[in-house]
């Protein structure tokens, strides 16, 4: 890809993600009763996906510095949604694990988010929804190929 197209792609990517967040995802009020936000939700989703995850890997996956990640994790620990455990083989390594309460919370909030996104998508005509479906599928495929982990 030439530099002009690369620059245009980068600009488009930087503008589309905030727009997707604003247009598709419900406001933070979905989480207000627990003083949590979307970042907490995505953090919980990653922990759920991996079963347990090192804090350093969690920070990388969320692109969050350790100094910003620690307060997020601490809030989830206080709410008993995750636990922090030291690895038996190396006490310097810390794993984050989802609690059963965290799993229930995540399932409930995920359902709320899904329903709100579905509601918002009903504003689209069928042809628009089909285009969005195809675009998201293609984007997912391309992003999986980047595999920067």
Distance of CA 15 to the CA centre of its chain: 18
- pLDDT for res 69: 93
Residues 74-84 pLDDT 10s: 999 999 999 99
CA–CA separation, 63 and 74 (whole Å): 18
Distance CA 114, CA 16 (A): 20
Residue 55 CA, distance from chain mean position: 15
Instruction: Specify the pTM.
Output: 0.72
Residue 28 has pLDDT above 70, yes or no: no
Domain region containing 93: 3-146
Confidence of residue 33 (pLDDT cuts 50, 70, 90): low
What is the domain count for the chain? 1
Evaluate whether 76 touches 40 at the Cβ level (below 8 Å).
yes
Assign residue 74 the CATH number of its domain. 1.10.10.10
pLDDT band at residue 27 using 50, 70 and 90 as cut-offs = low
* 31 neighbors 37 (Cβ within 8 angstroms): yes
pLDDT tens-digit series, residues 130-141: 999 999 899 888
62 pLDDT tier (thresholds 50, 70, 90): confident
């Amino acid at each position: 890809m030439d530099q002009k197209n690369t620059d245009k792609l980068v600009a488009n990517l930087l503008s589309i993600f905030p727009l997707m967040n604003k247009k598709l995802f419900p406001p933070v009020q979905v989480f207000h009763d627990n003083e949590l936000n979307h970042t907490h939700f995505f953090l919980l989703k990653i922990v759920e996906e991996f079963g347990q995850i090192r804090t350093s890997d969690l920070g990388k996956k969320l692109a969050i510095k350790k100094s910003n990640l620690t307060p997020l994790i601490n809030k989830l620990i206080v709410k008993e949604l995750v636990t922090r455990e030291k690895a038996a083989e190396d006490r310097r390594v810390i794993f984050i694990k989802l609690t059963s309460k965290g799993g229930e919370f995540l399932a409930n909030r995920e359902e709320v988010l899904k329903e709100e996104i579905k509601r918002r998508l009903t504003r689209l005509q069928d042809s628009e929804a089909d285009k969005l479906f195809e675009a998201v599928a293609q984007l997912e495929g391309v992003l999986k190929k980047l595999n920067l982990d």
